[in-house]
Structure 1
């Protein structure tokens, strides 16, 4: 999942409102445009006022840069973003720098997003994680907050992305917690070297992390009833064994032999039947489907 950053700023807001002179009575389109413009201005809020659950539209394209104000909108209306969480950075006298702050946000914001919307399969296509962070200027005034959002650069979202009561059933929570941790272990520990021969220890460390996450996932699934969930659990037990063999491989050849069934054993398509049984989303995200398509 792509993560980008939006920084805040204390620079003042200068709202330019164009006044349209209606030359003829009955120009309803012009009047409606004027009403929409007035509504947008009335909804302007400081970026510092964002709270979890707020739906909003950035003033401008959501890319790296500085932001001062946003347009708060009801979540029932089409919008581009929703705040999914926030956290406070450790106090410090000196500004740590953008890279240091972004490194923390890269780790913390996905975790906040998962708490807000545990089933990532249920998210609309094209949703990404963005965040607002302090700038040098705002840090000097005591700003330490990071606001995490789900954002669509293209198109809009209608309705809140927050998981409802139906997603808080114990079996769903247990499954999603374990499944999310497995894929997080797989991707966050991916070595930079493309070839196993160039970093066997790095790939073995990745295999060890995935095996540990699978063990925890299996432990969480043991009390979940259901035929399809039972089948998936049996499959993942074998998959965990392959990851453990990869973690203990004596050389790159042995690693490759274990890695192939280990990786294919995590194919998300194999979880669809169990997800359906648990009442979770069943459409494999496009990015995941492409990875396991080969």
Structure 2
């Protein structure tokens, strides 16, 4: 090895020795490649050049300076309006780091500082002038407004709401309604519902409506047991799936009451086991037992369906017998028992006329017994027992008034 040139390749005689006089130093050649003839150049290499070699001790190529991270954070924070003060801090610290470390990003940091300063001034003015309170109030009102709407299939027992419009009462399709506190004026209330089973394909309105009417009648009576507390303007109402909603998996029937057009009511209709005591429940179950049967008057005239009318009278008589038995069998508290037994006697008297109506052969005789059955139930007795039980409605609805 030449001490003056440590990187000079050794001679061919012996590694590390000088070549013999008269000989020129030869650079090492790579071993023969497949198919290479002696003396031919290496494939892909110019014969006059040798492979480049990187020797230890040579300095590496210079690295480009990095971008300061805080300058990027400053710009982002300045753009995001909710973080302007943070962007200002990031920008100032970033400038100091850029100068000390020789990094890039000065323009980003300055832009972040400018945006953050403007945003900070605007937010300060926003709070100082009371705009924040108005903004939050409007934001909250918007959220509450969105949350107040619910799809029909998501309605729950006890929900009070407004009908979408007059068209809703005309049988048009409804997808969502606005939920309202029951203590505020509203147009409808959900008493419960059920899920339709047993059908793969949509059975049609003709099949669903009659079943929904009967099922919802049971649900309505179980929820609003005190029928006197139901305003005269409200009537039973229900939603069931349409053909289109059925395809989307809707199988829910929602039952309830709704008011007439352009009318509203205040307060909940709920009078059930969750709001009534034992005596109130026993009395209302007895009253509603025969009322439910009485509501099922055949739609056809007596002359066209006399057998249906007589069957209706027979069913109502049976319901009155059950109601009288329930009143006599309950362990009434205090002085309520006397009035309850008096009411049971009236049920028996009314039942006798229903029995005669069930055997009537003419329409005139039939309705004479029905009117006599109604007169046997005295309104003053019902008011007296309601007052004694306390907490029940004591004013009979106009259509229910009897002498």
Normalising by structure 2, we get a TM-score of 0.57
Task: Confirm or deny that 1:176 pairs with 2:291.
Answer: no
Q: Secondary structure at the match of 2:197?
A: coil
Cα 1:36–1:82 change in 2 (3 A) is farther
Partner residue in 2 for 1:53: 158
Provide the residue aligned with 1:118 in structure 2: 225
In structure 2, C-alpha distance between the alignment counterparts of 1:72 and 1:216, rounded to whole Å: 39
- The answer to whether the 8 A contact 2:237-2:258 is kept is yes
Q: Which residue of 2 aligns with 1:3?
A: none
Aligned residue number for residue 103 of structure 1: 210
Equivalent positions of 1:1-294 (< 5 A) are 38=142, 39-61=144-166, 62-63=168-169, 64-153=171-260, 154-163=262-271, 167-190=275-298, 192-193=300-301, 196=302, 199-224=305-330, 225=332, 226-249=337-360, 255=366, 258-266=369-377, 268=379, 270-279=381-390, 280-289=392-401
User: What is the alpha-carbon distance in structure 2 between the residues aligned to residue 261 and residue 209 of structure 1?
Assistant: 17
Would the aligned equivalents of 1:229 and 1:277 in 2 still touch at CA under 8 Å? Answer: no
Which residue does 2:95 correspond to in 1? none
2:265 is paired with a residue whose SS is coil
Long gaps (5+) in structure 1: 1-30
**Bigger proportion of residues as strand:** 1
Aligned length, in residue pairs: 261
* Secondary structure of residue in 1 paired with 2:343: helix
Task: After superposing the two structures, state which structure 1 stretch, 105-114 or 151-160, moved more.
Answer: 151-160
Is the 8 Å Cα contact of residues 195 and 251 (structure 2) preserved in structure 1? yes
Could you tell me whether the CA contact under 8 Å between 1:132 and 1:147 is conserved in 2? yes
What secondary structure, in the 3-state scheme, does the structure 2 residue paired with 1:222 have? helix
Verify the 8 A CA contact 1:269 1:284 in the aligned structure 2. Answer: no
Does 1 or 2 have the higher relative contact order (CA < 8 Å, sep 6+)? Answer: 1
Judging changes above 3 Å, is the alpha-carbon distance between structure 1 residues 229 and 135 closer, same or farther for their aligned structure 2 residues?
same
Assess, with a 3 A threshold, how the Cα gap between structure 1 residues 216 and 66 changes in structure 2: closer, same or farther: same
Contact (CA 8 Å) 1:191, 1:202: kept in 2 or not?
no
The 3-state SS of whatever aligns with 1:160 is coil
Please list the CA deviations of residues 239-281 of structure 1 after superposition, one character each: whole Å capped at 9, or x if unmatched.
2122223323466676466444223224655522222223322
CA deviation map 1:155-213 (0-9, x unaligned):
323333222668532232222122212122123033621xx566543332222111100
**What secondary structure does 1:76 align onto?**
coil
Say if 1:248 and 1:48 are closer, same or farther in 2 by CA, change over 3 A. closer
Tell me whether 209-218 or 238-247 shows the greater mean CA deviation: 238-247
Aligned to 1:173, the other structure's residue is in SS state: helix
Give yes or no for contact 2:149–2:179 (8 Å, CA) kept in 1. Answer: yes
Counterpart CA distance in 1 for 2:381 and 2:355 is: 20
Does the Cα contact within 8 Å between 1:81 and 1:152 map onto a contact in 2?
yes
The 1:269–1:201 alpha-carbon spacing in structure 2 relative to 1, beyond 3 Å, is: farther
**TM-align CA RMSD:** 3.2
Structure 2: tracts of 5 or more residues without a match:
1-134
Does the 8 Å CA contact 2:324/2:345 hold for their aligned counterparts? Answer: no
